[in-house]
Structure 1
Amino acid sequence: MTETAHALSSSPTLWDLVARRAALTPDRPVFLQGDRVLTFGELRDRAERVAAGLYAMGVRPGTVVAWQLPTRIETALLSFALARLGAVQSPVIPFYRDREVGFALRESKADFFAVPGTWRGYDHTEMARRLGAKKVFEAYGDLPDGDPGVLPAPPSEGTSVRWIYWTSGTTSDPKGVLHTDRSLIAGGSCLAHALRLSAQDVGSMAFPYAHIAGPDYTVMLLLYGFPAVLFEQFALPEALEEYRKHGVTVAGGSTAFYSMFLAEQRKQPGEKVIPTLRLLAGGGAPKPPEVYHCVVREMGVQLTHGYGMTEVPMITMGCPDDSAENLATTEGRPPEGMEIRIVDGEVRLRGEAVCQGYLDPAQTAEAFDADGFLRTGDLGQVTESGHLVLTGRTKDVIIRKGENISAKEIEDLLHRFPGVGDVAVIGLPDTERGERVCAVVEPAARSREAGELTLEAVTSYLRAEGLSVHKLPEQLEVVDALPRNETLRKVLKYKLRERYSGTAK
């Protein structure tokens, strides 16, 4: 039986999970990075020393500490040291620059700001000072250090707001999302139980630790006692050596990651690109059914996809023992305690993993309905088996001559068209139709069919697939690469709308 971190308080903190896991399996590794190994016992002991160093700097329970750091062992240590103190953390994605970072610092009223110094050629310390950040310190290699004997008692409950995350990527204006240890633990628990992992697995973090998926994934490690390989910079094929060296069994991140692994597999058909890999898992972006079938068929591994967002880190998750049909066409089922309500087609949520709202009270009031359900802005339906099917975003409903058109329906079909690597379907302003349907296509790498990506060929294919005539794209744009955010590589549709509005053809 898997040894999990049970016997905790009714409202545990993240630090409770660290202490419990360190007592159970102190010598097992939790983080692997290059030749470096951090065990669960070392995570507890070193995080306490870092907490003491932070305490000497003036960090106290409730102090707001922003940090903009890459995915490193030191980042995890700093974050857990802050959790030990009961400080309020505001993680910032390391790729963000003045506009987003300045906004986060001002809105969170951060008292301290931890940066990596110069990282990937960019001077974060200079940016922090330029933005007027308070008490800037570098935390890339050396971390604050002190005697844990000076520390106050750890936080006694996990229901206070101690996390401010920032919505990222798919909209132009971020929001400060308020989370508790309890909501993050609830999200990570859902992921852990759905994936059916064990202490013998080896996971991986190819996404920024500052993303909401960071604690989501780490909770899973603490509950089940297995390690994850950390990638400070992720790119394929360069990262494959690390996956192979550490015997990674579970990889993924989002749909874009699945496609990247699939592209590497296609370079060596018949020979597994990562011999130990048995499962790809992720979420955060729509998954076309065709991607699922290609991964299972060509990579010889299972693929489970889920549904989450900054406001609710894990909503539903596919299970490895689900049917192929459900794994291909749904986002999985919600865990016990997550309520899903469909109102006028929109998915609404209530449960422990749901955030407490936003820094801006007006945004909080707008986001929750009278019954306390969060309005997600996603459209979907729940099947008889309890699986959630997402059909698009409210903003992705294209209204052409008064008729509603789902962008996702068209995208799923185009993912099967030869030569298409990825696609985003958007509605563009049109004086005659209200909106017209525009398909923006990223060709498949080295595809011989890429030259056949014409509007006539695409619409002929969609007609043959049975798509209604009024849903056919009226404009096709072929781009080298779709614009994406730097976290889970979601496509930024608002940038495409900005680029192609007014380009009727």
Structure 2
Amino acid sequence: MDETAHALGASRTLWELVDRRAGLTPDRPVLLQGDRTLTFGELRDGAERVAAGLYGMGVRPGSVVAWQLPTRIGTVLLSFALARLGAVQSPVIPFYRDREVGFALRESRADFFAVPGTWRGHDHTAMAERLGARGVFEAYGALPDGDPAVLPPPPADGTAVRWIYWTSGTTSDPKGVLHTDRSLIAGGSCLAHALHLTADDVGSMAFPFAHIGGPDYAVMLLLYGFPAVLFEHFAMDTALPEYRRHGVTVAGGSTAFYSMFLTEQRKVPGQRLVPTLRLLAGGGAPKPPEIYHAVVREMGVQLTHGYGMTEVPMITMGAPDDTAENLATTEGRPPAGMEIRIVDAAGRPVPAGVDGEVRLRGEAVCQGYADPAQAAGVFDSDGFLVTGDVGHLRESGHLVLTGRMKDIIIRKGENISAKEIEDLLHQHPAVADAAVVGLPDQERGERVCAVIERRPGTGDLTLATMAAFLRGEGLSVHKLPEQLEVVDALPRNAALRKVLKYKLRELYG
């Protein structure tokens, strides 16, 4: 990390980081979207005006403001305006619906809720009203505006909880992950340091800004002073012209994105898909080694993959100058300040090369969960976060993940609770029992497979009818099973008749 980026990384708050970067390079672009360009100076000044408008609406330091907005320049302005005020932000992924949104609003006790109105055919304002949300306002085109002279001083404490991010985890209800400005700055610093980026790079944000990766990426832009292209809704056919138009050098997101790039590259073998592109980077889902080798071989660019979670946005990351073997088969190494401990079933550290549970300690680690009941046991006696993931460290310090203790499915970088889907499937009159598992998928990381034990005397079940039922129950589209298997009896153990999911993964994977 260069000296300027290192100094900026010591900022106490996100607003201090914005203000310091705007002072250094006010006229350099930071956000590119369509024909619009926002500079670092405009980001600071515009966010202050939006903050003043929010203040006029009654938003104060400590107010809880939920927002469910697509990835737009206005969304970034609103988020940094809330950071300027010292409000508590609760970002919600735009494609979540009544079940998840209602839970987030209740658990965060949101005082205000910013929505995009009707977006991609869904009326978010009507949903907010249906859920009884407080302080609902639309923030898609026009944003609140006011005179910054009315604002109180910006927050000075970067260790106060001001962010609540939502993750499904292993249960049907989401978890509200508590973050501070400093934990988000630390996560973004880890990413920036690992990727060896410079002020001459041009990045891209193809994932929702409401994801924990949003501030992770924004911090990286602020540290190094380079811009990123934003995509409100990512589709490769419309994204490629924007990559070329803006000269993107760094792209990616997750395994699914790598596969999409490869699909397009194979349509024009021997040609550079994006002439300026030099690096694909991402995380959030398993990466088969063959994907790494195919990207390097066919696209002529480097691929670095990392390990992160909502609780710790950046844990490890592959470095562009690492060996091909490490980049293909590991999650990279942790940066300075991130401690990884691998422990056995009794919580005792194990040597390099031995599998165990992954535990983490460092400034980028969250402060716990909003629900005290969910927070119980999340940290061990030494202050390490208990992840439930399984893996080992190599002698070189590279992390290899080999499985998960949690029963979650990671599809395109998003955690999906198997239990949530199973609970809904059990409500179908033709279902006697159901098990949902994640199966390896080259494009998605994992795909959702529902295995159903059919109730005797009922008719045939199809994937289409089951998906329609789940959608009718309010399940988000991205959680719908992509594979359905109907069996006479699910495999169970002899003692407690517990369904043996590993047998289902072996059979259908």
Q: Assess same fold via TM > 0.5.
A: yes
Q: State the shift of 1:173 in Å.
A: 2.4
Which residue of structure 1 lines up, in the alignment, with residue 130 of structure 2?
130
State how far apart, in whole Å, the 2-side matches of 1:83 and 1:63 are. 11
Which residue of structure 2 lines up, in the alignment, with residue 12 of structure 1?
12
Code of the residue aligned with 2:99 in structure 1: it is R
Code of the residue aligned with 2:162 in structure 1: it is R
Code of the residue aligned with 1:202 in structure 2: it is V
- 2:170–2:407 CA contact under 8 A, matched in 1: no
State how far apart, in whole Å, the 1-side matches of 2:94 and 2:443 are. 29
State how far apart, in whole Å, the 1-side matches of 2:487 and 2:371 are. 32
State how far apart, in whole Å, the 1-side matches of 2:18 and 2:403 are. 38
After superposition, residues 340-351 of structure 1 pair within 5 angstroms as 340-344=340-344, 345-351=356-362
State how far apart, in whole Å, the 2-side matches of 1:501 and 1:348 are. 40
State how far apart, in whole Å, the 2-side matches of 1:443 and 1:257 are. 11
State how far apart, in whole Å, the 2-side matches of 1:498 and 1:164 are. 37
SS at match of 1:366: coil
SS at match of 2:305: strand
Which residue of structure 1 lines up, in the alignment, with residue 397 of structure 2?
386
State how far apart, in whole Å, the 1-side matches of 2:319 and 2:65 are. 36
Which residue of structure 1 lines up, in the alignment, with residue 59 of structure 2?
59
Which residue of structure 1 lines up, in the alignment, with residue 332 of structure 2?
332
494-503 or 86-95, larger mean C-alpha shift: 494-503
- 2:170–2:406 CA contact under 8 A, matched in 1: no
Distance 1:47 1:169, change over 3 A: same
State how far apart, in whole Å, the 2-side matches of 1:4 and 1:499 are. 59
Which residue of structure 2 lines up, in the alignment, with residue 115 of structure 1?
115
Q: State the shift of 1:439 in Å.
A: 8.7
State how far apart, in whole Å, the 1-side matches of 2:116 and 2:188 are. 27
- 1:305–1:331 CA contact under 8 A, matched in 2: yes
Code of the residue aligned with 1:360 in structure 2: it is D
SS at match of 2:229: strand
Which residue of structure 2 lines up, in the alignment, with residue 236 of structure 1?
236
Which residue of structure 2 lines up, in the alignment, with residue 294 of structure 1?
294
Q: Is 1:362–2:348 an aligned residue pair? A: no
- 2:312–2:365 CA contact under 8 A, matched in 1: yes
SS at match of 2:200: coil
Distance 1:139 1:227, change over 3 A: same
- 2:259–2:443 CA contact under 8 A, matched in 1: no
Q: Deviations over 1:16-70 (max 9, x none)?
A: 1100100000000000001100000000000000000000111110000000000
Code of the residue aligned with 2:179 in structure 1: it is H
The percentage of aligned residue pairs carrying the same residue is 78
Distance 1:7 1:301, change over 3 A: closer
Q: State the shift of 1:368 in Å.
A: 1.3
Which residue of structure 1 lines up, in the alignment, with residue 209 of structure 2?
209
State how far apart, in whole Å, the 2-side matches of 1:179 and 1:317 are. 20
Q: Count the aligned residue pairs.
A: 434
Distance 1:496 1:363, change over 3 A: farther
Q: Deviations over 1:390-423 (max 9, x none)?
A: 00111479xxxxxxxxx99xxxxxxxxxxxxxxx
SS at match of 2:286: coil
Q: Deviations over 1:82-108 (max 9, x none)?
A: 000000000000000100000000000
SS at match of 1:79: helix
Distance 1:142 1:381, change over 3 A: same
Q: Is 1:91–2:102 an aligned residue pair? A: no
Q: State the shift of 1:282 in Å.
A: 0.4
- 2:11–2:17 CA contact under 8 A, matched in 1: no
- Could you tell me which runs of 5 or more consecutive residues in structure 1 were left unpaired when the two chains were aligned: 398-406, 409-423, 430-435, 446-478, 484-488
Which residue of structure 2 lines up, in the alignment, with residue 454 of structure 1?
none
State how far apart, in whole Å, the 2-side matches of 1:347 and 1:135 are. 41
Distance 1:81 1:439, change over 3 A: closer
Code of the residue aligned with 1:387 in structure 2: it is H
Q: State the shift of 1:172 in Å.
A: 3.4
Q: State the shift of 1:495 in Å.
A: 8.5
SS at match of 1:4: helix
367-376 or 46-55, larger mean C-alpha shift: 367-376
Code of the residue aligned with 2:296 in structure 1: it is V
SS at match of 1:357: coil
Q: State the shift of 1:4 in Å.
A: 3.0
- 1:11–1:159 CA contact under 8 A, matched in 2: no
After superposition, the CA RMSD in angstroms is: 3.2
Which residue of structure 1 lines up, in the alignment, with residue 144 of structure 2?
144
- 2:70–2:116 CA contact under 8 A, matched in 1: yes
- 1:169–1:490 CA contact under 8 A, matched in 2: no
Distance 1:498 1:75, change over 3 A: farther
